[in-house]
Each structure stands twice: as structure tokens, then as C-alpha cells.
Structure 1
Amino acid sequence: MTTLYMPLFRSCTNLRSLAQLHGHLFVTGLRHDPLPSTKLIESYAQMGSFQSSKLVFKSFPNPDSFMWGVLIKCSVWSNLFQEAIFLYLTMIKNDHVQISNFIFPSVLRACSGFGDLVIGEMVHGTIAKNGFGKDSVIQSSLLSMYGEMGCLSNAKKMFDEMTVRDLVSWSSIILSYIENGKTNEGLEMFCLMVLEGIRPDSVTMLSVAEACGDLGVLKLARSTHGFVVRRKIESDGSLASSLVAMYSKCGDLVSAERIFVNLTNRSTALWTAIISSYCRIGRFVEALKSFVSMLESRVEPNSVTMMSVLGSFAGLGWLREGKLVHCYIIRREMDLDYDVLGPVFIELYMKCGKLNYCEAVLRILEGRNIVAWNMIISICIEKGLITDALAHFVQMLTRGLMPDSFSLASSLSACADGGLLLFGDQIHGHIIRRGISDEFVQNSLIDMYSKCGCTELAYMIFDEINEKSVVTWNSMICGFHQNGNSVEAISLFDRMYLNGLEMNDVTFLSVLQACSNLGYLEKGKWLHHKLLTYGVRTDLYIGTALTDMYAKCGDLLTAQRVFNSMPEKSVVSWTVMIAGYGAHGRVNDAISLFNQMVDSGVRPNQITFMNILSACSHAGSVENGKFYFNSMRDFDVEPNSEHYACMVDLLSRGGDVNEAYRIIKSMPFPADASIWSALLNGCRIHCRMDMIETIEEDLLNIHTDDTGYYTLLSNIYAEEGNWKEFEKVRSAMKGIGLRKVPGYSLIELDKRIYRFGVGFTSLFQTEETLTFLENFQNLSQEHVYHLENQ
């Protein structure tokens, strides 16, 4: 009799009619019949009322495993993954319920949705214990769960153990690799699938097209498109949209537009794909024109379409138009909870400088959308609002939302930019407590500690990473050379090279900068050769780094040759070459190059002027120095303390200490220790103790931790025999805890540079260096003994 009610369930089109049917079942006494009750649970959930489903379930006296399974499945439909896991754990504690295989696919989906690998592995153990391990549906669910949670080794193991590998399982393993950044491995699995005779469908090709787009290899993208055409794979709207997106990611917008134009029946997905393609490459106006054409074609946009539209307004900084579209979205009730569009609203309002609007969006979200928090944190960092970025990170934690790898990496980046070591340490503690080993986060930790000057801590994290990517190696090499540990940076590169590890242009760029710091010409030449043999394209950055390296290592001719061969030159490239000429005393060449730069339409910046002034200072060219210092404002460049220090140094060395002093007094900000040091050095050179007496009161007001300033001043007093003032300066140094920075020596052994000094221990090869020095000392003693006994 209960089967007669099944057509009635199908006729219920809203919650009101379903509630009426529910009441009828209650009156007729069928509410304790498992079949209509189970159907009620399912129907309520399908209409978006999971709480009603739960009430029906609770009113049933002894639900069986099927009813439990339906309720768990319904909670997964409603994205209540934690609820689904709780129901499963409650069910298995009930001795009266016999576990069936029907329940596990939903539970496994809940585990991956909630991101709880521990419970997922426990469910896997229960599956094996109850003998359901060979069930093909459960095997596919396990494969999907491990893939979605990034456990590719477990996913591959499940795939290898599967008795029947159908199209669904192949598509699942391919998607797992691609979504976890293993794009090449995903494409390799696709090739194996084709070789085994499994015919891919449009769903499989969606993943393949996405992989080709992620790689950005146009040749591969065209091969994929050709495969779809040759195999006559039905190209529905989704696949056509993916092909459009694939071509745009590979930089071939013409092919993307051709696919779009050739399709007459343009779906929402296809319009969305072409709009997002324009938005992705910064052609925001074309994206908005396409959106208008879409509306004129009577095609309804969805929330994904509006993401690209709002992104275009954000890119253009069009606040008014963005607010109008925001109203349009509200009227159409596209995303009432802001779950999809919340982050894009935040991007729009942040880029338009409306932080209070972003706070309003977060209040609507009630802090539940981690993507929105990530967006506001990353844009705050992009705008240099470090404090605001970290304040939002703290708010996210206080609201009980667990930060993901992006949140953590972005916050660590903020700590690195702001030099906030203590805050970074606290985030590191949070990462350790949660057991997060994500490569993205680990690399951010290395970067944070390196930028905060803690290279030993950075190296400790680096050393503990088992599988190091090229990004990890690059982060550590860059961290070393940025902190003056150029020897260690080169040694780390040598380890990469000797172990045959992958290297890219960033690797070479970092180690070239390390060679520049050391003046290590032979290694720099070797690197230049390896750049050519490895096929690394000498782009703007590499060309500039090579020019800088050769100039700093004394090979100005090769630096000039590299600079002249660069097809494109940035202001940094010109500045580096000007600095090279200046360092070698060729002030006329530096001036000539500066004029060439201006004539070519490149505007000099603060560093360019710093280098041209430095060149004038090295050559003692006072008039040229004055000219370029006075012309800075013609290029809208305001002189900073370094420019003033250079100008004071130039005048002081030339003997015009009075003019130098006048410039100091005319500065729009207080002079720091470096500026007074430049004047002091001029007074010392030209024996102008009268000037030192004049500025004595100014010198007393200087508070600095620059040991060079105190050393220079004490040496001047010592040379004049004024030991009283000498002792006063030295006492002041000791009083604030300063001491002279100890020197160090560099030694080259077997074409490698090692650094050592008093109390210095290198991170690399310390034992080898000390052994060499000990052997050298023993040989020297033997040689002396031999000479004495001849």
C-alpha cells in the first residue's frame, strides 16, 4: 500500500505540498512505515530543508541502515559534511544497526568535504574490516577522497588495486593529479588510459583541457583540441567552454575567439568562458562589452559569470559601475549568502580603497568563507597594509575559522615584509600544532625567516623538507644571498647542480646575485656558460643580473657587451650599467649612458640618480654632481637621505665643507649618521677641526647604532691627540652596546669560495676549510724546519 504514495511524492513541488503529504501520512498511521519515511527524509533534503529531514528521522522508532544512509547522503547534499560524519559515528555505535555498503560513498564524500583525513582513513579501515574493499563503487569513492585531500600516493595505490578500471576511475585519478598540481602526471595517466583502449568522454577531456591550460603550452593545447575533433567526442557547452579557457591561458586568444564565434548556440558557460578569458589577460573593457552582448542575447548570467564581470570592474577601478552590478546581483538573487561572490566583492572594494565596504561584506558572510578572508588578507599585503592584513588573520582565528595554506602563507609573507619575527614565530607554532607540511607554507616560512635575518632557522626548515621542489631550493638560496651569506648561497647551488636537480631562471638569477656580492668572476662566467647550455632564455632579469655581476667583478667590457645585446632594457638595466661605470671611475661614460637612457624615453628613478651622484663622487666631479642633484626634481624624483649623503660626501671630499654643511642645514628632514659621517670624513681629509667644533652640538644629538660613525669620530679625535674626546666617544659606544664589526676573509679552494673569521662558523664545509688550513700550517712548519737545518 505504501508504494501508492510514491507518485504523490513526485507531485510535491514545494515545501508546503510536501508538508501536507507528511501530515496525511501522520494521520493515516504510515509515519512508522520505513519506505514513506525514508522518502520524506530524501524529499525534504532535496527541497533544502535538512532540518525537516532530521525531524522525520528522529521520529522514527528504529531506523535501519538504509534510512541512516539516506540521512547521511542528504546531509552531504546540503554540504553539512561535519553533520554527516557525526551521524556516521553515531550509527556505528548503535549495535542494532547492521552496516551496509550503501552508506560508505556518502561518508567518504563527507570526509573529503570536511577535510578530515584521519576519519577518512578510519572509515577505510572499517570498509576493509567489513569486507567491502572490493566493491567498485566504494573503491571509486576512496580514490576520489584521497585525491581530493591531496594524498596522491594513497589514491594511486587504490587505483592500482582496483579490479575493474572503468572510465569513471580513470577520470578520477587523472583529475586527482591535475587538481593537486601534478599536471604532467595527470596527462601521463590520460595517455595510459587511451593506450588501454578506454574511450574518454567529455568529462575526462574537461580535466585534460584544464591541465593544458595550467601548463600554458600552446602546442599541447592544440593537440588536445585535435584529439577531441578526431575522436568526435561530443563537445557540449562545458567542454567548449574549457577549450576556450585553455586557449586563453596559453595566450592564443584568437583560437579561443574562433571557437566562441563558430558556436551558434552559446550557453551561459560559453559566454562566461570568453568573458573570463578577456578578464584574465587584463582586457577588462572587452570583457564588459562581451557581458553586455550576453545580456542582449537574452542569456542569463550566473554567479561565475559575475565573478569575471566584478573582477573587470576591480581591474579598472570602476567603483560606481561595480556598485550598480552589485545591486543587479542582489535583485536577481544570484548569490544571497555571498558564498561565491563574497571574495570578488572584497577584491572590488579593496582595489577601490573602500575597506569599510569589505568589512560589511565580511559581516554578511558571518566569517564563514575562508576564500573571502584570504582575499582581503592578500590585497592588504598587495597595498602595503601589513598591520591590517595580520589583524584580519587574527580576526579569522578568533571567529573559529581555521586558516588554510593560502591564509598561512599570505600572513607569513606579511610578517616577512614587515620584519615581524615574533608574529611569524607564532604562526609557525600554529603550523606545527596542526601538523601542516604543505610545500607552499614551508617555502613561506623559509622566506619569512630569511627576510627577518634568521637564516639558520630558515635553513633548519629547509633541511627538514624531504622532497624539495625547485621553489624550495630557490627560496633558501635567495635567503642566503639577501642576508650576505653569498658563500652559502653558492654552495647550495653547487649541491643542486651536483645532484642533477631541476633549476630554472630564478635559480640562476639568485646565484648570479651572490657572485656579484662576492666579486666571484670565475663562478659568474661558469654560470653564464651553464645558462646557455641549459637553454635558459636570457630575459630582461637575467641580462640585468649578468651585467651587474660582470661590472661588480671588474669585467666592465663583458658587462657592456651583455648590456648592449639586451633587446629590452628597463630602468634597472640602465641603472646597473651606470653604477658599473661609476664604480670603475668612468664618470664620463656614466653621464653619457644616463643621457642615452633619458633620450630613449626611460625615466630615471631614485636609484639611478644615486648611482650617477656616486659616480661623480668617485671621480671628484663636483660640478656634474651639483647639476644632477639639482635636476632630480625635473624628473619628479625627491632626494632622500642617501642622495643628500652622497652630495655632502662629494662636496666634503672636494674640500667645500662649508657648502656641504649648508646643504645639511637646508635638508627637509633631520640628517642621520651617514650624512654627518660624510661631512666628518671631509673634515678629516682637509684637517678642518674648526668645522668639527662648529657641528659638535649637532654630533651630540645623534643617536645611531652605526659603529662606523663612532669609529670615524673617535679616530679623528685620536689623530688630533684629543684623547679625552676619544675616550668619551668610545665610552658612548660601549654604553649602548656597540662594538666594531669583526672582519672576515675569503679563500678560494677548488674553484669554491669559503669565508672565515674570528668566531665564525660556516654552514657549509667548515671542517674542510679548517683541515686545509691545518695541513697548510703543518707544511709551512716543515718547510721552515727544513730551511733551518740546511
Structure 2
Amino acid sequence: MSEQLCLALLRDCRTLNGLKQIHAFVSKTGLERDPLIVGKLLLLSSVSIANALDYARRLLLHIPSPDVFMYNTFIRGLSESETPHRSLLTYIDMCQRTTPTPDSFTFAFILKATANYKSLTAGVQLHCQSLIHGLDTHLFVRTTLISMYAECGCIVSARKAFDELPQPNIVAWNAIFTACFRCSDIKGAEITFKQMPFQNLTSWNIMLAGYMKAGELELARRTFADMPVKDSVSWSTMIVGLAHNGCLDEAFGSFRELQRLGMRPNEVSMTGVLSACAQAGAFEFGKILHGYIEKVGYNWIVSVSNALIDTYGKCGNVNMARLVFDRMFEKSIVSWTSMMAGFAMHGYGEEAIQLFHKMEESGIKPDGISFISILYACSHAGLIEEGCRYFNKMETYGIERSIEHYGCMVDLYGRAGLLHEATEFILGMPIKPTAVIWRTLLGACSIHGNVRLAETVKERLSELDPDHSGDHVLLSNIYAVAGKWKDVITVRRSMADCKIKKTPGWSMIEVDKVMYSFMVGEGLSGVTEEAYEKVGEIMLRLKVEGGYIPEVGGVLHDIEDEEKEDAVSRHSEKLAVAFGISRLCQENVIRIVKNLRVCKDCHIVMKLISKVYRREIVVRDRSRFHSFRDGTCSCRDYW
């Protein structure tokens, strides 16, 4: 009776705390020696429950004579974790015992782990081990070998492992088919697909995923249209791929079509469409998806909750992101990092720091991405000393600094106007500065108007990335602010001679769950005409009631002031906010997403609109959020 009750409890267990309570019940009822019960405990802690691998390791250590199933379970859990290399140590421990003997599942899981951390040396040694145990020809082991060699970039070895199979089944064919895509051998994949005795749904899904990963959107669309049957994997692959490649409207359309067909979206589809919402700033649609997630019970799935945190954070509602975070039963490192990133984007540096400390107290060790988030938060809140302290703290955790961490430090000094310190930091870096590092410094020169340093930095960038349009535009902008019109003309002429085109600025706004995009110079439509008309009305009212004086110093042409005023009034974010005022109710927050950094004049205008029109405006530009309310911005003019 106790055994049946225990199995029933294990079947419904979803959290580590619940597992510990069941384990206590097992100990109390004397079921610790029941291999079925102990195996279920190990399976849940190794595979099913988040952040429970350390518990599984301790559990395995306390089992007097673990069998091959128990070892395989723990190796499987490690192979799918963030530390797959640890599975090799478990395999070595297993081999040092007289029993049990590794079986085909052992090699399949350990080879998968090797593939995940891309160690060709370990993979070859394990291939030899499978030969010694006479398991290398086992179909399950051989297909994993093909995948391992592919992940390590050895398509020749993967192909050889496949060719040695006397009668490959569809699983083996799909493995070599996948291997071709992983090694970027698209032509080889297409040939393999045609050679297959028959293609099943998995084959078609591999083809679809391969094209999406390679960025071959047209081929992916054609494959999806040609598929004889589509399952949830097909739809989720399409949605995630479209979102990843920036085809946001198509991602939303595919998700709606999936629902129209009466199919239930899986967790991968949900994370994909939430990613599209995050990129587009589609807050209202994100709220609808949140309701659906609660209804079907997907809020138990950590990856879905993480995607929700990211969506709310990037849609400008950090309070909703925090609510989702606080209600999570189990939190992964991604959960903590996503929440910190949300605080960082909104300039809430102190809150990000408090969360970082709570993460440490919870026992979760921060990783490199966690430190990027906290350094980013310090940079956007002007917390210089704190940023330096966290940068140095990385050594405590044994985390190797990447170029992104150095970039955050350059940004930290640059935003604070410490351009000399930023320059010295770059020159003292132990790794060679990339174009992104110098570009960060150039951006700081633009903010603080340092022409001389900007020219020096631009010379460095000309050596590393001469055709980047943003660098030319930034330098041109710096010259324009300084009134050096001859230099502006020289830079613009250089861009024209080299056929370098400026990245067009665009802004998006969600109205009645529909995304509208605005771009300066695009053809007029009913929507853009409405926006232009409203902009004229707004500018006039701001001048009369708000004392607005256009900030035209950054306009890149030596033209009359009236023309400059007209130029800045047509910036895409002004068109978007004008359209929002025209269409949205007074109580609605106007949420705008912009692909470039918001300019000084637009920042002034947004503050005045929030005061004169009594509207709350949230603008997400390339680097952070600006929340405008009652004539002030959340960035405190520090951006």
C-alpha cells in the first residue's frame, strides 16, 4: 500500500521541495531499498525537476549498489544540463566498479553529453570504449555517434559512422540528415533527403528546422507548404524560426493559424510567439498569451515563464515581469538573469543589484550572462563603483571575462562621461578590442561631444569595420553638433563614394492588438497621413503650452532652421506617438519600439507630450527603456 501511494505521489511531483517530502516519506516507511521507488526518485531529480541535479548526485552516492539504470538516469540528466562534461566523471566512476557494466543506453547518453559540450577528443575515446564493449554497431549507439561527430564539426566521421551501418533505418537516416545541417552542408542534406528510402514526418521537420537555422527562409516556407502532414513540432519550428529571423508578423500569423486549425500550441510554440511579442513590443498580445498560459497550465514550465518575464520586460512593464518571476515555483539561472536584464533595461540598477544578491543567497551560482546583466544595469543607472566591484567579482566565481563584459565596462565609463578612463580601460584589455568595443566608445563621444577622441576612435574602426554605416553617421552627427559642416559633408560624401547606406530608423506601436510601423520617407498611406497630420497639431500645441524649442543641433545638414525643424518633426518615434494619441484612449499607455537610439529632440518632445497631453509614454530604443510621465523620464536624462 505504501509503495503504491509513494508511486502516485511521485507521478504528480513537480518541484524539488515536493520531492524532498516524498523522499522523507520513503525513508520513514522503509522503502529506501526498493529499486523501483529509488529509481523514480532519481529519474525525477535527474531529468524532470529543474535545479535538482545536485540532489540526484547525493541520492546516487547514498545508494549502496546502484544498477545500470540508475547510472544511466543520472548520466542522462547531466548530459542535458548546463554542465554535460560532469557526466564523464559519472561514467568513469561507473567503470571503476565491478558492476554494473555499461550498456547501449549508457553510451547513447554519454555520447550525447560529449556532443553537447563539443569535445571531439572525449567523443573519440568513448567511440573506442563502445568498440571494447561491443556496442559500437548498436543502432542506438551508432546514431548518437553520428550526431556527436556532427556537433563537433566532423561531417566526414559522421558520414563514415553512417556508411558502416549495414541496414540503416529511418532514425539513422535522420541522424545523418541532421548532421549535414549541423555542419552547414545544406547541399549534402538535400542530397541525403532525396536518397532516403522514405521520408517520415521527422525527416520533414529536420529539413524545416535546418533551413530555418541556416536563415534560408524562402526554402523553409516552401518546405512547410510542401509537407504532407504537419504536427506541433512543425508549427513550433516555423513560429520560432520566423521570430528568430525577425519575421514577426508571420510568426504571429502562424500562431493564429495554428489555433484556427484547432491544434493546441505546445511550450515551444508559446516561447516562440512570446519572443516575437518581446521583439515587437506587443504588450496587449503578450497579456492574452499570458492568460492562455495560465489557463492551460503552462505556467509550471520554467522556459515558458522565462519567456513571459522577457516579454513583459521588453514590452515596458517590469512590474508584470516581476509578478511572473515571484510566482514561479522553480527558478533557473535564466529566470534570475532575465529579471535582472528587465530591471537593467528600465534603469533600475539598485533593484537589479538586490536581485543579484537574492540569487546568490538562493544557492544559484551566477554565470557569465548574469554578470552581463548586472554590469548592464550598473551602466544604465550610473553606478560606477558597483559596476567595477561586480566586474572584479567575476574572478571569485572563476568566470572568464568575455568581450561582452569588457564592452559593458567601456559603456559604464562612457555613459558617465569618463572618456579618458574608458580609453585607458580599452588599451589595457588583455584581449584585442573588437569593433563593438571601439563603437561603444564612439557612442560615448557622441553623447558627450568629444570631437577629437571621436576622430581617433573612428580611425580604429576604419581598420576593423570600414563599411559600418553607424560609425559614419555617429561621426557625422558629432561634427554637426559641433557646427563643423565641412567635415559633415566630407563624411557624407565618403559614405556615398563607398556606397554605404544609413540604417533607416523605424518605430512600431501596438494599437488594438495590431502592430503599426513608421519609417521616415516611406510612401504615404492612410495611417502615415493621419500620423503626419497629428504631428503638426502636437508640435504647435507643445510650442504654445509647453514652450517647446526644437533641438536641431544634431540635424546632419547645413540648412535653414525651418527645414531642420521639419526634419526632426518627422522622426519615426514622433509619428508613432502621434498615431497613438490619435487612436488610443486617454488611459492607455502609449508603447513604442524603436530600432535606433532615441534622439535628444524626440526625448524632449516625449517629456512635453506626457505633461501637456497627460499621457504615459514608454519608448524602447536600441539600448534601454524610457518611461515618460508628467514631464519627466525614468532615465533621469541619463542615457
AA aligned opposite 2:358? E
Distance 1:586 1:221, change over 3 A: farther
The yes-or-no answer on 1:310 pairing with 2:208 is yes
2:412 maps to which residue?
514
Q: 2:60 aligns with which of 125, 145, 159?
A: 159
Distance 1:261 1:524, change over 3 A: farther
Distance apart, 1:489 and its partner CA:
2.6
Write the deviation string for residues 405-427 of structure 1: whole angstroms up to 9, x where unpaired.
222222222223222x2xx4234
Q: 2:322 aligns with which of 428, 453, 465?
A: 428
1:275 maps to which residue?
177
1:181 maps to which residue?
82
1:81 maps to which residue?
none
Write the deviation string for residues 484-522 of structure 1: whole angstroms up to 9, x where unpaired.
444543343234357765432221111121122234356
Write the deviation string for residues 302-322 of structure 1: whole angstroms up to 9, x where unpaired.
x43332233356552358744
Contact kept, 8 Å, 1:213 with 1:249, in 2: the verdict is: yes
2:512 maps to which residue?
none
The yes-or-no answer on 1:329 pairing with 2:229 is yes
1:26 maps to which residue?
none
Instruction: Kindly report which structure 2 residues correspond to 1:709-728, keeping only aligned pairs within 5 A, or say none.
Output: none
SS in 1 for 2:299: coil
Distance 1:595 1:356, change over 3 A: closer
SS in 2 for 1:317: helix
The yes-or-no answer on 1:645 pairing with 2:547 is no
Distance 1:550 1:354, change over 3 A: closer
Give, in whole Å, the separation in 1 of the partners of 2:21 and 2:359: 27
| Paired positions, count | 538
1:541 maps to which residue?
436
Give, in whole Å, the separation in 2 of the partners of 1:281 and 1:340: 22
Contact kept, 8 Å, 1:550 with 1:558, in 2: the verdict is: no
2:356 maps to which residue?
462
Give, in whole Å, the separation in 2 of the partners of 1:223 and 1:595: 59
Give, in whole Å, the separation in 1 of the partners of 2:440 and 2:407: 7
Give, in whole Å, the separation in 2 of the partners of 1:183 and 1:255: 22
Instruction: Kindly report which structure 2 residues correspond to 1:434-445, keeping only aligned pairs within 5 A, or say none.
Output: 434-445=328-339
Distance apart, 1:144 and its partner CA:
1.7
Contact kept, 8 Å, 1:486 with 1:514, in 2: the verdict is: yes
AA aligned opposite 1:563? L
SS in 2 for 1:645: coil
Give, in whole Å, the separation in 1 of the partners of 2:284 and 2:184: 29
In structure 1, stretches of 5+ residues that fail to align are 1-97, 331-337, 608-631, 634-639, 674-701, 711-734, 745-790
1:472 maps to which residue?
370
Contact kept, 8 Å, 1:272 with 1:304, in 2: the verdict is: yes
Give, in whole Å, the separation in 1 of the partners of 2:479 and 2:64: 71
Distance 1:603 1:354, change over 3 A: closer
Distance 1:444 1:262, change over 3 A: same
Contact kept, 8 Å, 2:481 with 2:554, in 1: the verdict is: no
CA RMSD of aligned residues (A): 4.7
Distance apart, 1:203 and its partner CA:
1.8
Distance 1:277 1:105, change over 3 A: farther
AA aligned opposite 2:436? Y
2:237 maps to which residue?
344
1:130 maps to which residue?
29
Q: 1:249 aligns with which of 151, 174, 187?
A: 151
Give, in whole Å, the separation in 1 of the partners of 2:172 and 2:462: 47
Give, in whole Å, the separation in 2 of the partners of 1:665 and 1:743: 24
In structure 2, stretches of 5+ residues that fail to align are 506-519, 522-534, 540-549, 575-603, 613-628
The yes-or-no answer on 1:142 pairing with 2:142 is no
Give, in whole Å, the separation in 1 of the partners of 2:264 and 2:305: 17
Contact kept, 8 Å, 1:512 with 1:549, in 2: the verdict is: no
The yes-or-no answer on 1:410 pairing with 2:307 is yes
SS in 1 for 2:607: coil
Contact kept, 8 Å, 1:543 with 1:566, in 2: the verdict is: no
Write the deviation string for residues 631-665 of structure 1: whole angstroms up to 9, x where unpaired.
x99xxxxxx99x993466864xxxx7xx3224545
2:141 maps to which residue?
239
AA aligned opposite 2:76? L
The yes-or-no answer on 1:292 pairing with 2:194 is yes
Give, in whole Å, the separation in 1 of the partners of 2:605 and 2:434: 44
Distance apart, 1:160 and its partner CA:
0.9
Distance 1:126 1:602, change over 3 A: same
Identity fraction in percent: 15
Distance apart, 1:387 and its partner CA:
3.6
1:193 maps to which residue?
94
AA aligned opposite 2:369? V
Give, in whole Å, the separation in 1 of the partners of 2:173 and 2:219: 22
Contact kept, 8 Å, 1:209 with 1:242, in 2: the verdict is: yes
Structure number with higher relative contact order (C-alpha < 8 Å, ≥ 6 residues apart): 2
Give, in whole Å, the separation in 2 of the partners of 1:340 and 1:105: 34
Give, in whole Å, the separation in 2 of the partners of 1:215 and 1:475: 24
Distance apart, 1:472 and its partner CA:
1.5
Contact kept, 8 Å, 1:559 with 1:577, in 2: the verdict is: no
AA aligned opposite 1:436? E
SS in 2 for 1:251: coil
Write the deviation string for residues 742-787 of structure 1: whole angstroms up to 9, x where unpaired.
999xxxxxxxxxxxxxxxxxxxxxxxxxxxxxxxxxxxxxxxxxxx
Distance apart, 1:268 and its partner CA:
1.4
1:202 maps to which residue?
104
Distance apart, 1:146 and its partner CA:
1.2
Distance 1:305 1:517, change over 3 A: same
Write the deviation string for residues 76-112 of structure 1: whole angstroms up to 9, x where unpaired.
xxxxxxxxxxxxxxxxxxxxxx445xx488547624x
TM-score, structure 2 as length reference = 0.69
Give, in whole Å, the separation in 1 of the partners of 2:381 and 2:177: 45
Write the deviation string for residues 42-62 of structure 1: whole angstroms up to 9, x where unpaired.
xxxxxxxxxxxxxxxxxxxxx
- Structure with bigger helix share is 1
Distance apart, 1:549 and its partner CA:
7.1
